[in-house]
Chains A and B, each alone.
Chain A
Amino acid sequence: MSTVLTAPLPAAARVGPRLSRVVKGSVGVLALLAAWQLSVPLVGLGPYFYPAPSDVVVAFADLVRKGILPVYFADSMARYFAGLAAGALLGVGLGTLIGLSPVVSRALTPLLRFLFAIVEVAWIPIFVIWFGYGVKTIVLALVYVVFFPVLYNTLLGVRTAPQILVNALRSLGASPLQVLRHAILPAALPSIITGLRVGAGFAFRGLVFAEIVAAKTGIGYLIFEGTQTQQTARTIVGMIIMGLTWLALDVCYLRPLERATVQRWGLTVDAERRT
């Protein structure tokens, strides 16, 4: 009897709750859309000040028809993933180094703490002076945004790796590289993935700001350009695209990756449920 109760549900049985969750989640969105549409005649302002959802749908269709949205979206995503990848690599590399070497830690920690306090917004004008408007400045700003959460989470993961495993491997004659590969990095991986997820979220916000300041294409630029050209509906399209893209990235990539990491090198059930 207990076997039956603890057995995992078949895929078909899991569809029901999932569908119900989607339906419940959609209710809030639909209610917001209905309230928004109904409030437009009550507010009585023009589409420049207060566009209706229908205006936003028209603007979306127009942007797609004119080929603007696909190109802006592709540009934004290319910059985002370049910045995310570079920032994550740098963060994991340096975080591991600082976590393993007290000398490097002592040398770099004050500098990193100092830089951590300076938000990327402050760097962007400097990057524009150094690298001009465009891809380099935006990617660099994103690297900066992603770097710190990944670094600190990697550091945390490396420092909290079970010492008993490290000692056991060392006593069996493992080289430092083998200890890193078989004990420290697997133990740090859940923290690294969490840092990556946090960094990916920060980078998304950073992307919009960087594109507003330093680009002539991209979703961030679309948001800015929409208000400049009195096409507020386009601005809202840009905002919705950003939100939906983040949701898709989180649901399709980041959350499964985090869950898989926690399960594989798994720490606690709570960590998994947290997502």
Chain B
Amino acid sequence: MLRLPVLATAVIIALLATYWSIAQITASRRLASLEPLEARGSYRITLDFAPERFHQVRLQEAGRLVEVRGSTVYMKDVTPAALRGIAAEYWVRDVARWNGS
């Protein structure tokens, strides 16, 4: 009788778990070349498109947004945990170190 709610919940949980796992694997792969991460580093975050207000707000939560050039966002004061969070986003194409100038 309650098979449908149970099944729907199981599908949702499975989808979320899959999404989360893929995001973590993607983040590790993207950051592999940047290890060890600095306590507060400067990074160049490249997206597949020009960032909208949503992306700028999300990135500002992770550090100090210095500049946006085309589809690249330049950031300072990004902690390793925050950088991992950014790198896990599927709309981020690339994360690279930036000398901060």
A residues in contact (CB < 8 Å) with B: 65-68, 71, 216-217, 248, 251-253, 256-257, 259-260, 263
Contact = CB atoms under 8 A, between A and B. Distances in A.
Contacts of B94: none
Contacts, number: 36
Given A216-B57, A253-B8, A67 B2 contact: no
A256 B2 CA distance: 6
Interface stretch (B30-38, B46-54, B62-70, B74-82): B46-54
B52 A253 contact: no
Interface string B1-43: 1101100100000000000000000000000000000000000
Contacts of B90: 67
Name the residue in A66, A71, A216, A256 with the highest tally of chain B Cβ atoms < 10 Å from its Cβ.
Answer: A66
B1 A256 contact: yes
Interface residues of B, number: 15
A71 B89 CA distance: 11
A226 to B, nearest CB: 12
B55 interface: yes
A77 B54 CA distance: 18
B54 A66 contact: yes
A65 B48 CA distance: 9
30 contacts: A65-B48, A65-B49, A65-B91, A66-B49, A66-B52, A66-B54, A66-B55, A67-B54, A67-B89, A67-B90, A67-B91, A68-B52, A68-B54, A71-B58, A216-B57, A217-B54, A251-B4, A252-B4, A252-B5, A252-B8, A253-B5, A256-B1, A256-B2, A256-B4, A256-B5, A257-B2, A259-B1, A260-B1, A260-B2, A263-B1
Contacts of B54: 66-68, 71, 217
A216 B54 CA distance: 9
Label chain A's interface by main secondary structure: helix
Contacts of B58: 71
A66 B90 CA distance: 8
A256 B54 CA distance: 37
B5 A257 contact: yes
Contacts of B49: 65-66
A64 to B, nearest CB: 10
A68 B91 CA distance: 9
A66 B91 CA distance: 6
B31 to A, nearest CB: 18
Name the residue in B2, B4, B49, B57 with the highest tally of chain A Cβ atoms < 10 Å from its Cβ.
Answer: B4
A248 B57 CA distance: 31
Contacts of B89: 67
Contacts of B1: 256, 259-260, 263
Given A67-B90, A68-B52, A257-B5, 12 more contacts: A65-B48, A66-B49, A66-B55, A67-B54, A71-B54, A71-B58, A248-B8, A252-B4, A253-B8, A256-B1, A260-B1, A263-B1
Nearest to B92: A67
Contacts of A66: 49, 52, 54-55, 91
A259 B57 CA distance: 44
A263 B1 CA distance: 9
A217 B8 CA distance: 25
